[in-house]
Amino acid sequence: MKNIKWVAAAILIIAMSCSSSKITSSWKAQNITPAKFNKILVLGLIHEKDRQMQEKLEQHLVGDLRDIGYTAISAMQEYGPKAFENMDEKAALQKIKNSGVDAVITIVLLDKTKERRYVPGRSYAVSNFWSYYRARYSRIYEPGYFVTDTKYFWESNFYEMNNQTVLYSAQTKSFSPESAETLGHEYGMLVVKDLVKQKVLQQLSVKEE
């Protein structure tokens, strides 16, 4: 049984170390204590060409908030992909209020960059001249390949809606996530864990496995 537990722990550590996302900085307002909000709205501000990514990010963050005991909804599911387009401030705030929302957390894609890099076909470690010569000679005619890495830079702000006050802000970097599903899963867990750590939210319940 102990061996099984050690293996499970090792797998968890490896999985966490392989995460494509990490929080680079976070901030919270002074003199606040963990609060129980009635309903939290998760709102993605992402270009429509990345709509699938927005959907996954919102869904996973909603799920992670629910896992710690909060009622949360996705703006995309609640209002559609163009939630507050062409609305003025008064109309948008009334729309949120009518949904019973008293807190909003945003997911904003600040920047997206792509970088092309070369991956060698093979690497060689040889000790004598002739072996090195032959290896490198053949290497000249052995093509490698290029891959494109994508970096995403995110920001999430948490607002208490009675006074529209920002209580928390986090900046996150994601490096070539496997999929929108993976990105959403990692991002939601990171942000919710930090919200609890920073004492903006409290752990109201524990997710049942």
124 part of a folded domain: no
Assigned domain for 86 exists:
yes
Q: What is the DSSP letter of 12?
A: H
Here the CATH number for the domain that contains residue 160 is 3.30.160
The stretch 68-95 carries a mean pLDDT of: 90
Q: Is the pLDDT of residue 51 over 60?
A: yes
Domain, as residue range, for 102: 20-116+152-197
Q: What is the pLDDT of residues 54-72, one digit of tens each?
A: 999 999 999 999 999 999 9
pLDDT per residue over 137-195, tens digit each? 665 556 666 778 889 999 999 999 998 999 999 999 998 788 889 889 999 999 999 99
Nearest to 191 by CA among 75, 58, 80: 58
Number of domains forming the structure of the chain: 1
pTM of the model: 0.76
Any domain includes 186: yes
101-143 pLDDT tens trace: 999 999 999 998 988 877 666 555 556 666 766 666 665 556 6
Q: What is the mean pLDDT of the chain?
A: 82
Task: Give, in order, the Cα–Cα distances in Å from 7 to each of 18, 34, 173, 186.
Answer: 17, 35, 29, 22
pLDDT for res 140: 54
CA distance 72 to 62: 5
In a domain, 121, yes or no: no
